[in-house]
């Protein structure tokens, strides 16, 4: 989805070509290297970088840079020297992010350089893809371990969207319980558990402690959002706690800040909530979900800059509704690990109407 917004292209699906493979490899390598990178957090490790992370990252960034440059050049060739209005008219379709940035480049070339455009592409991909996918994986796992909540959510979705139509973006945004499920998931499993490193620009005091200028500061969301002094039964999955006034912890009180707060807070919060609500809601509307293993889904946390599950979620889905006007129910399988499970289980779409 992020890629389609950025370049109008789609590198995932069944018809995979060389370009798709190259992109998937680059993204996987980036995640792997970044996941094992402690240098940004403990700078002294830079001097004993035995895994050669910095070198590996620089090499990878050169390849990524080349890939993004090709995307930009392609858009530039397609659009010629047209303004965004002309491009829009010509394509009779929505513009992608590169189109918009190239249009800005025409107006302010010294600011919107290709370097800047590539930086924005990278930031969108890195910050916007795994975060939402991993949160949905945690949400589904929590729902499987709490069947009553799953039933309640299915009922709410059915009440809003019925069986005749696939849940759409605006329906999903109105289902309060669905939004509460996502909020509660982000409380227990905040996907960016230490936010991103911040640095004090002047000497200051935080909670009575003197913080000198230039100190790297982390915010530990796991401690904050699971604090028994702030939350009743903090490790229990209770989406209902956000009903009414929030029932313990609203973002205003800073008890819960999965998207950060202030000037450098996540700018993708609106998009993320919409995407997760829509995708998760549609998946739950279309399928009954079953655990494969006996017992509870393993909720062990993995390591990395983001907070993945240690063990990828594997599950069995059974189509539970036949929706009218729905060409391919698989459009909504957007969690790559789930998609992989489908492919492995050889549940081709024809078998699955």
Q: What is the DSSP string of 284-298?
A: HHHEEEEESSSSSPP
For 343: left if phi > 0, alpha if psi spans -120 to 50, otherwise beta; the answer is: alpha
Cross-strand partners of 291: 315
d(CA 133, CA 334): 8
Query: In this complex, which beta carbon is closest to ligand HEM, that of residue 179 or of residue 323?
Result: 179
Query: In this complex, which beta carbon is closest to ligand HEM, that of residue 192 or of residue 313?
Result: 192
Residue 294: CB minimum distance to ligand HEM, A: 30
Query: In this complex, which beta carbon is closest to ligand HEM, that of residue 123 or of residue 345?
Result: 123
Task: Tally the residues of the chain.
Answer: 353
Query: In this complex, which beta carbon is closest to ligand HEM, that of residue 138 or of residue 329?
Result: 138
Q: Which of residues 28-67 bind ligand HEM (CB under 6 A)?
A: none
Query: In this complex, which beta carbon is closest to ligand HEM, that of residue 33 or of residue 195?
Result: 195
d(CA 173, CA 187): 19
d(CA 308, CA 69): 30
Is-contact 231 249, C-beta < 8 A?
yes
**Contact between 131 and ligand HEM per CB under 6 A:** yes
Q: Which of residues 132-171 bind ligand HEM (CB under 6 A)?
A: 132, 135
d(CA 169, CA 154): 16
d(CA 340, CA 345): 8
Query: In this complex, which beta carbon is closest to ligand HEM, that of residue 198 or of residue 291?
Result: 198
d(CA 86, CA 287): 43
Judged by CB under 6 A, the stretch of 80-88, 111-119, 123-131, 246-254 that binds ligand HEM is 123-131
Residue 260: CB minimum distance to ligand HEM, A: 2
Query: In this complex, which beta carbon is closest to ligand HEM, that of residue 266 or of residue 323?
Result: 266
Residue 182: CB minimum distance to ligand HEM, A: 8
Residue 181: CB minimum distance to ligand HEM, A: 13
Query: In this complex, which beta carbon is closest to ligand HEM, that of residue 128 or of residue 239?
Result: 128
Beta-carbon neighbour count of residue 68 at 10 Å?
22
Quick one: the chain helix, strand, coil %, rounded to 5?
A: 55, 5, 40
According to DSSP, residue 190 is labeled -
Query: In this complex, which beta carbon is closest to ligand HEM, that of residue 124 or of residue 323?
Result: 124
For 168: left if phi > 0, alpha if psi spans -120 to 50, otherwise beta; the answer is: beta
Residue 138: CB minimum distance to ligand HEM, A: 10
Is-contact 214 199, C-beta < 8 A?
yes
Judged by CB under 6 A, the stretch of 45-53, 129-137, 295-303, 320-328 that binds ligand HEM is 129-137
Beta-carbon neighbour count of residue 324 at 10 Å?
8
Q: Which of 127, 161, 175, 224 binds ligand HEM (CB under 6 A)?
A: 127
Residue 134: CB minimum distance to ligand HEM, A: 8
Q: Which of residues 248-287 bind ligand HEM (CB under 6 A)?
A: 258-260, 264-268, 271-272
Q: What angle do CA 331, 92, 329 make, to 5 degrees?
A: 10
Q: Which of 6, 72, 102, 128 binds ligand HEM (CB under 6 A)?
A: 128
**Alpha-helical regions (H) of 175-317:** 176-188, 221-225, 269-286
Q: Which of residues 185-214 bind ligand HEM (CB under 6 A)?
A: 186, 191-192, 195-196
Judged by CB under 6 A, the stretch of 55-63, 184-192, 200-208, 284-292 that binds ligand HEM is 184-192
Residue 71: CB minimum distance to ligand HEM, A: 17
What residues make contact with ligand HEM under the rule CB under 6 A? 123-124, 127-128, 131-132, 135, 186, 191-192, 195-196, 258-260, 264-268, 271-272
């Amino acid at each position: 989805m992020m890629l389609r917004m950025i370049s109008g292209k789609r590198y995932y699906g069944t018809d995979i070509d060389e370009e798709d493979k190259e992109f998937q490899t680059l993204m996987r390598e980036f995640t792997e290297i970044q996941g094992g990178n402690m240098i940004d957090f403990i700078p002294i490790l830079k001097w004993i970088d035995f895994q050669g992370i910095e070198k590996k990252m620089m090499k990878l960034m050169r390849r990524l840079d080349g890939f993004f440059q090709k995307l930009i050049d392609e858009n530039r060739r397609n659009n010629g020297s047209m303004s965004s209005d002309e491009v829009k008219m010509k394509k009779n379709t929505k513009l992608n992010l590169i189109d918009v940035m190239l249009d800005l480049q025409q107006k302010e070339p010294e600011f919107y350089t290709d370097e800047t455009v590539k930086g924005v592409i990278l930031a969108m991909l890195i910050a916007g893809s795994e975060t939402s996918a991993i949160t949905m994986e945690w949400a589904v796992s929590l729902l499987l371990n709490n069947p009553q909540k799953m039933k309640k959510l299915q009922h709410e979705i059915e009440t809003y969207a019925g069986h005749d139509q696939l849940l759409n973006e605006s329906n999903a945004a109105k289902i309060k319980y669905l939004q509460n499920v996502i909020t509660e998931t982000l409380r227990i499993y905040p996907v960016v558990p230490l936010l991103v490193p911040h640095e004090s620009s002047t000497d200051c005091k935080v909670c009575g402690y003197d913080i000198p200028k230039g100190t790297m500061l982390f915010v530990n969301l796991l401690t904050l959002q699971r604090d028994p002094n702030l939350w009743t039964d903090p490790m229990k999955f209770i989406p209902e706690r956000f009903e009414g006034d929030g029932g313990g912890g609203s973002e205003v009180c800073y008890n819960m800040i999965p998207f950060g707060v202030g000037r450098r807070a996540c700018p993708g919060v609106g998009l993320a909530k919409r995407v997760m609500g829509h995708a998760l809601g549609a998946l739950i509307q279309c399928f009954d979900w079953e655990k494969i293993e006996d017992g509870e889904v393993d909720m062990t946390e993995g390591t990395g800059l983001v907070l993945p599950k240690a063990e990828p979620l594997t599950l069995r889905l059974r189509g539970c509704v036949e929706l009218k006007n729905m060409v391919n129910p698989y459009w909504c399988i957007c969690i790559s690990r789930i998609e992989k499970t489908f492919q492995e289980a050889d549940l081709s779409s024809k078998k699955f109407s």
